[in-house]
Amino acid sequence: MTAKYGAEQIKVLEGLEGVRKRPAMYIGSTGKEGLHHLVYEAVDNSVDEALAGHCTLITVAINKDGSVTIKDNGRGIPVDIHPQFRIPAVQVALTKLHAGGKFDKKSYAISGGLHGVGISVVNALSKKLIIEIKRGAKIYQQEYSRGKARTKLEVIGKCGNGETGTKIIFWPDEKIFSALDFDYKILETRFREIAFLNAGLKISLTDKIKDKNEEFFAAGGLIEFVKWMNKSKEIMHKPIYFKRDVNGTVLEIAIQYNAGYRENIFGFVNTINTVEGGTHIFGFKTALTRVINDYARKKQALKNGNLSGDDVREGITAIVSIKMGDPQFEGQTKTKLGNSEIKGFVDSAVTLALSEFFEENPSIARKIMSKALDSAKARLAAKKAKDLVRRKNAFSLGGLPGKLADCSNKKSENTELYIVEGESAAGSSKQARDKENQAILPLKGKILNVEKSNPVRALSSEEITNMITAIGTGVGEQFNLEKLRYNKIIIMCDADVDGEHIKTLLLTFFFRFMPELIKNGNVFVAMPPLYRIRKKKDYYVYSDKELKKMSEKLATTNVTRFKGLGEMSSVQLWDTTMNPRTRRVKKIFIEDAVEADQTFSMLMGDDVQARKQFILENALNAELDV
Ligand code: 0RA
């Protein structure tokens, strides 16, 4: 090859050097999440090929040697010489940043991938990558290392003329990643979601280490998705489904109400879960409220006033999926759809389709309407109850709960609210705390299981109203993040079974009533030590694994197990669990919204069999990571 080739190559490689220098900018992190992001990025390219209508099967394998194989039956990445770069097009895709499938806008109108950085990022962050392409009756292969081609693209064999596809095997670079093990469960969740969102696309996942295999396939697409989400709930009707395609923007919606009280609306844009919502969700909610109000008025079931958004969404499970050309993602985690034209598009499409459905299915329409009317009645009753609580609270300090030991700093920036289980622990933590910035709210044992009670009952429970008032944001439609009174909400419970249960009840409350706080990163769990080792000075130990290590290191067996927080002196409590410089706290985040919803329903709901199964499967990693 000539000097020209070399020069182009250098320009290209500079781009990937940037990826290696700042990997987190491209894949979020270099931990477990980032590692799995490599697989998503590669799979997204195959999903794009499916969205374009050319691919029906994607197979993914976790291999014994630490690599992952992603294979599809699409058209195969083009191998002809790229006119500008004078190297095979596939090599451009693998070595040029942002060159994924998207460099050819004519080929792809729609494209997934959260960061959309493409397959070159996977290449840059792999110590080795092999690509194999079947195209034009030939099999091509090329090998890379850390973003650089190690071989030229070679023909290594023949195949049937109609046989096309792309196969990538990559070995993540241990110089980049702190974690190198792929987790079957994490991949499984995402692939199930992709299969539901792309009716007819089959994704096969194999773990050759654990010897596990599963195929994800949903002929019914979103209809199966809502059924799956409602699988442990009492459903009210068969799913409502419609699809609209206007100038290549495709809207698909599935709705199924259940007998519960919760709202479960999940939005997806080009198969990406828009956790922060956006214009598509806004348009959907607006239309839903309007159609149900209009229907109720027409049936003379609603004389005065209106059903609120919360009323019409009680017990709803819905998926709003949009596939579109140029999505603009906004928000903290870039998961909020910003395109303003989408709001009106979804609003009018849903208004038309849903009113038509109601006309044609009066018995379903009636059930949904009655549920919303019931909810409105309960809402009025709850308002009365809340007013009562508020009046009661007005007698305590500035409307704050009497049990709250507030901090003196009134700005929320550096302040923390400790929610503490038990009287004696609350007592020591009040002595231990930094009064300037740390507030203590004691809890009387177990709070109500909000998963099993209706919102009216939940919101009239004293422990729960105390928390809501102390936190300041309100709940539901009135939730306002700007009113948050503390920067960190820290749940502090004993490190025993009861403590775990209370922790789960509290997390369930936050997940159902203030999910925004979790999404915004304000909710934490304190990690009190399990043991103290006395040897000249005191050492605190936070897990059994650590205990083994420490006792070996200190050559000692002089060990005290803490039975509960209340047993610690205020000095010990401060040193181990509350001092921001020395304590450990765990930030709670929602890895996958659909999965988290299922987990909470199952952990706290009525399906005993499912809960048993979950506990059996998860007994070893009993940590609650939502
Ligand atoms: C650009 C153009 C064409 C296919 C692809 C990219 C493609 C990329 C990937 C990545 C993973 N699997 C893929 N499959 C296809 C189409 C070119 C043509 O017209 O045949």
Strand boundaries in 467-579, DSSP class E: 488-492, 523-526, 531-535, 537-541, 559-561
Q: Which of 141-145, 285-289, 304-308, 436-440 is predicted least confidently?
A: 304-308
496 is catalytic: yes
Output the CA 251–ligand 1 centroid distance in Å.
24
Q: Does residue 159 lie in a domain region? A: yes
| One domain for residues 206 and 264 | no
- Domain-located, residue 290: yes
- What is the domain extent for residue 604? 597-626
User: What is the per-residue pLDDT for 116?
Assistant: 47
State the SS3 of 401-418.
CCCCECCCCCCCCCCEEE
Number of structural domains, the chain?
4
Q: How far apart are CA 287 and CA 460, in angstroms?
A: 31
Backbone angles phi, psi at 85, to 5 degrees: -95, -15
Q: What is the pTM of this model?
A: 0.71
Closest residue CA from atom 10 of ligand 1: 45
Q: Where are the beta strands (DSSP E) in 327-398?
A: 329-330, 336-337
169 within some domain: yes
38-47 residue pLDDT tens: 999 999 999 9
What Cα–Cα distance (Å) separates residue 130 from each residue in 67, 272, 512, 625? 10, 27, 45, 34
The reply to whether 166 and 315 lie within a common domain is no
Q: Which pLDDT does position 539 carry in this prediction?
A: 85
Question: Above 90 in pLDDT, residue 600?
Answer: no
Residue 8 inside a domain? The answer is no
Amino acid found at 531: Y
The response to whether residue 72 sits with its C-beta less than 6 Å from ligand 1 reads: yes
pLDDT > 70 in the chain, percent: 89
**Residue of 403, 522, 408 whose CA lies nearest to 467:** 403
Structure tokens belonging to residue 355: 């009113």
Looking at 134-143, 246-255, 392-401, 408-417, which range is the least confident one? 392-401
Which residue out of 77, 91, 122 has the highest number of ligand 1 atoms within 8 Å of its CB and is therefore the one to mutate? 77
Q: Residue 328 in contact with residue 276, Cβ under 8 Å?
A: no
- pLDDT, tens only, 183-227: 999 999 999 999 999 999 999 999 999 999 999 999 999 999 999
Catalytic residue among 33, 143, 183, 498: 498
Specify the amino acid at residue 249: T
Which one, of 137, 99, 76, lies nearest residue 12 by Cα?
Answer: 99
Residue 492 confidence (pLDDT) above 70: yes
Average pLDDT over the chain, rounded to an integer: 87
> Please, which pLDDT band fits residue 474 given cuts at 50, 70 and 90?
confident
Q: Is residue 560, in this structure, part of any structural domain at all?
A: no
pLDDT per position as a tens digit, 406-431: 999 888 788 999 999 888 889 999 99
572-590 mean pLDDT: 89
Per the domain annotation, does 338 fall within a domain?
yes
Same domain, 160 and 251: no
Q: Ligand 1 center to residue 127 CA distance, Å?
A: 24
> What single letter denotes the amino acid at residue 380?
L
Q: Is 498 exposed, middle or buried (0-12, 13-18, 19+ CB in 10 A)?
A: middle
Q: Which residues make Cβ contacts (< 8 Å) with residue 63, sequence separation at least 6?
A: 69, 169, 208
**Residue 57 clears pLDDT 70, i.e. is over it:** yes
How remote is the CA of residue 78 from the centroid of ligand 1, in Å?
6
Q: Which residue did the predictor score with more confidence, 456 or 314?
A: 314
Residue 144 included in any domain: yes
Residues 463 and 606 in one domain: no
Asked if residue 166 has its Cβ within 6 Å of ligand 1, the reply is yes
Indicate which CATH number applies to the domain containing 63. 3.30.565.10
Residues 360-417 pLDDT 10s: 999 999 999 999 999 998 888 777 766 665 555 444 445 788 899 999 988 878 899 9
Smallest Cα–Cα separation from 205: which of 224, 182, 187? 187
Do both 365 and 421 map to the same domain? no
How far apart (Å, rounded) are the C-alpha atoms in residues 8 and 338?
Answer: 36
Whether residue 103 is predicted with pLDDT greater than 50 in this model: the reply is: no
Say if residue 111's pLDDT is above 80.
no
User: Could you tell me if the CB of 78 is within 6 A of ligand 1?
Assistant: yes
Q: Do both 180 and 277 map to the same domain?
A: no
